[in-house]
């Protein structure tokens, strides 16, 4: 086998070039030096240790906490003709013995293992008897107590360096805030290594936010018009809603499965397996779903409720489009969601400091939702980068919002809240402003307020938009008792007094983010090409079922799209496609060439 990284990239993986820092990282590891790699999801972290593993003598040990992921990686590597195996509790004792023997005999290029196994049953002694090329520590943020999935076993990984000082170590993660990064370097003893930090942008994800009118039917619309045969994830806040929404999507003829912590573990596992192994399954989930799923062809992530904060939003939407093809992050939210979340934040079980932190984080999210600026710019800035002002691939860039001088409207709203005693929700305040005749208004005598009917000239949806923006700008607060009563924030004073002008976004005629850019995710030249793509997909699915592996392990969508466009006629032309290396050419070339032929007939 060649020892040249570029040659391995093309002949084994079928990719034409390295991305970003990959080449430097690989050289660094081959030179037997330690490194920390911070790269976003889908950035291509795995190649950073897989290629050195193939270039160097001995076995690479990959430490990974998630069995499902491990399995996936091993299947992917085996499809490429690489000797890889995993040691974990999902395997029978006989299978584990086979893997140990192969390892001892030096037959494996990569061995995946969970950290607790590494330290159990004298495994480290086994390691010291073998030639080891490198240690890769995946999900390295698990070593940090700051992180969201601290795992105590990770702390013990520090001994690797003491026991095997000459074996290079590569720690990898997609979580990159500063305290976590410092922790990783410190606790794994990587201070003499180098840190490679990639930007956190996910350029292929289109961020789109829309105002909620009827959330579920907006979602159904979005799915039908833009992702009619795509896999996706829908996030909702409660289990009940998860069940309801899944049923409604299923009623349209799609496969939609609920996923939440209240389901039996077996059911959840089966759901996850279907999501991976079938085409176009939609999962409707609480946030319990997603950790450890690296399905590359998730074409959309939709939120029917607001996520907790920007971190959750970015992590959840990040599960879309790992394969680099266009994907949508779609979110619908309304005034009620804001009130609900603000209320949930005021959990008396939490310390005051924690409540304050949660509030600040929620406010950043609200500002993000209501902003007229480029979404990507706001996200990346939030995470400490210095991004360009516009991206051209978010709703605000694609359909810029108009601003208007909202000072007068805001003054009306604020004084109406003030005069009615700072205890009513937005619905009632809007009723007063537009001069509605309701029971509640009569009961409280609010038709005698000077602001009664004063805002007639503004439509109800426009008022809702104004209230959301006032909340997002922090000029209003929501009360503790959970009735969603609004009160004035100290910071609204200059607006109320007319010392400053306030610019707000006009609410668009059609809720934004609902513009049908149907089928934008794949640009087929014509209907024939699309039909061929679908044919190739069915061939892939059959092959995957025969081997009981996910379809993307055979070929990624990207490869099939290229296949449908270029329609190669010979094995050598087939071998030129992205994602077709030697092993896959041998295994599948003939089958797909025949399908291309059949498609032309
Ligand atoms: P991460 O672990 O960083 O989330 P992966 O290692 O799973 O990302 O890579 C994401 C996808 O990008 C994979 O399908 C991988 O095969 C592909 N990929 C990685 N590097 C390259 C490259 N240089 N050229 C083309 N595709 C690549
Ligand atoms: Zn943008």
Transcribe 353-404 into DSSP letters.
HHHHHHHHHHHHHHHHHH--S-HHHHHHHHTT----S--SSBHHHHSPPPEE
H/E segment holding residue 53: helix 46-55
The rounded distance, in Å, linking the Cα atoms of 582 and 277 is 24
Q: Please work out whether the CB of residue 550 comes within 6 Å of at least one atom of ligand 1.
A: no
Which residue minimizes the CA distance to atom 26 of ligand 1?
Answer: 15
- The full DSSP string for 242-308 is HHHHHHHHHTTT-EEEEE-TTS-HHHHHHHHHHHHHSSSEEEEE-TTS-TT---TTEEEEEESS--S
CB 114 within 8 A of CB 65: yes
Phi, psi for residue 208 in degrees, rounded to 5: -135, 125
Ligand nearest to the CA of 66: 1
Which ligand sits closest to the CA of 138? 1
- For residue 9, the ligand 1 atom closest to its alpha carbon is 23
Closest ligand 1 atom to the C-alpha of 45? 3
Spans of the chain, pLDDT less than 50: 516, 518-519
Q: Which ligand is nearest to the CA of 26?
A: 1
Q: In the prediction, which pLDDT does 346 show? A: 67
Is the Cα torsion angle 128, 130, 134, 140 positive or negative in sign?
negative
For residue 302, the model assigns a pLDDT of 98
Is 354 close to ligand 1, i.e. is its CB under 6 Å away? Answer: no
Q: Which of 306, 382, 289 is nearest to 343 (CA)?
A: 306
Write the CA distances from 268 to 254, 275, 289, integer angstroms.
Answer: 19, 11, 9
Is the beta carbon of 15 within 6 A of some atom in ligand 1?
yes
Q: Which atom of ligand 1 is nearest to the CA of 18?
A: 23
Q: Does ligand 1 lie within 6 Å of residue 296's CB atom?
A: yes
Q: 463 CB under 6 A from ligand 1?
A: no
Find the 554 Cα to ligand 1 centroid distance in Å: 15
Residue nearest to atom 24 of ligand 1 (CA): 15
Ligand sitting nearest the alpha carbon of 198: 1
- The pLDDT score that the predictor gives to residue 456 is 94
Per residue in 436-483, pLDDT tens?
999 999 999 999 999 999 999 999 989 998 998 888 888 988 775 556
Would you state the pLDDT for residue 481? 55
pTM over 0.85: no
């Amino acid at each position: 086998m060649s020892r040249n990284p570029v040659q391995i990239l093309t002949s084994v993986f079928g990719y034409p070039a390295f991305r970003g820092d990959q080449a430097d990282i690989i050289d660094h590891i081959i030179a037997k030096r330690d490194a920390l790699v911070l790269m976003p999801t889908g950035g291509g972290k795995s190649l950073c240790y897989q290629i050195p593993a193939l270039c160097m003598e001995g076995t690479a040990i990959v430490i990974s906490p998630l069995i499902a992921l491990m399995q996936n990686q091993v299947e992917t590597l085996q499809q490429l003709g690489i000797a890889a195996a995993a040691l974990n509790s999902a395997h029978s004792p006989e299978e584990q013995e086979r893997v140990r023997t192969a390892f001892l005999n030096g037959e494996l290029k990569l061995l995946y293992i969970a950290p607790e196994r590494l330290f159990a049953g004298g495994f480290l002694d086994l390691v010291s008897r073998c030639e080891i090329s490198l240690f890769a520590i995946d999900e390295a943020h698990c070593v940090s107590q700051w992180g969201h999935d601290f795992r105590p076993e990770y702390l013990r990984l520090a001994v690797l360096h003491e026991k095997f000082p000459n074996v290079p170590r590569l720690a990898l993660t997609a979580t990159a805030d500063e305290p976590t990064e410092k922790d990783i370097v410190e606790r794994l003893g990587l201070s003499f290594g180098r840190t490679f930090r990639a930007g956190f942008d996910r350029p292929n994800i289109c961020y789109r936010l829309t105002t909620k009118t009827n959330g579920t039917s907006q979602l159904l619309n979005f799915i039908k018009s833009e992702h009619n045969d795509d896999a996706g994830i829908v996030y909702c806040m409660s289990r009940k809603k998860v069940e309801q929404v899944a049923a409604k999507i299923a009623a349209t003829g799609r496969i939609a499965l609920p996923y939440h912590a209240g389901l039996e573990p077996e059911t959840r596992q089966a759901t996850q397996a279907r999501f991976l192994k079938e085409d176009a399954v939609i999962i409707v989930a609480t946030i319990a779903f997603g950790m450890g799923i690296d399905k590359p062809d998730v074409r959309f992530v939709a939120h029917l409720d607001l996520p907790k904060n920007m971190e959750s939003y970015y992590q959840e939407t990040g599960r879309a489009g790992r394969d680099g093809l266009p994907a949508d992050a779609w979110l619908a939210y309304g005034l009620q969601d804001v009130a609900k979340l603000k209320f949930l934040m005021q959990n008396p079980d939490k310390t005051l400091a924690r409540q304050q932190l949660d509030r600040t984080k929620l406010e950043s999210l609200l500002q993000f939702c209501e902003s007229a600026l480029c979404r990507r710019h706001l996200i990346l800035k939030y995470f400490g980068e210095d991004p360009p002002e516009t991206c051209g691939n978010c709703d605000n860039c694609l359909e810029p919002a108009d601003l208007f001088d909202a000072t007068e409207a805001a003054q009306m709203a604020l004084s109406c809240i003030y005069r009615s005693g700072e205890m009513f929700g937005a619905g009632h305040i809007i009723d007063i402003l537009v001069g509605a005749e309701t029971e509640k208004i009569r009961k409280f005598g609010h038709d005698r307020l000077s602001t009664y009917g004063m805002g007639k000239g503004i439509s109800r949806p426009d008022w809702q938009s104004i209230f959301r923006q006032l909340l997002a700008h922090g000029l209003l607060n929501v009360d503790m008792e959970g009735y969603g009563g609004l009160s004035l924030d100290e910071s609204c004073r200059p607006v109320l007094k007319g010392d400053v002008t306030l610019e707000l976004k006009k609410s668009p005629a059609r809720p934004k983010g609902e513009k049908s850019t149907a089928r934008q995710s794949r640009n087929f030249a014509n209907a024939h090409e699309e039909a061929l793509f679908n044919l190739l997909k069915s061939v892939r699915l059959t092959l995957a079922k025969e081997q009981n592996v996910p379809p993307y392990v055979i070929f990624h969508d990207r490869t099939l799209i290229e296949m449908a466009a270029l329609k190669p006629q010979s094995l050598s032309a087939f071998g030129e496609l992205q994602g077709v290396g030697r092993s896959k050419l041998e295994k599948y070339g003939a089958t797909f060439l025949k399908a291309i032929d059949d498609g032309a007939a």
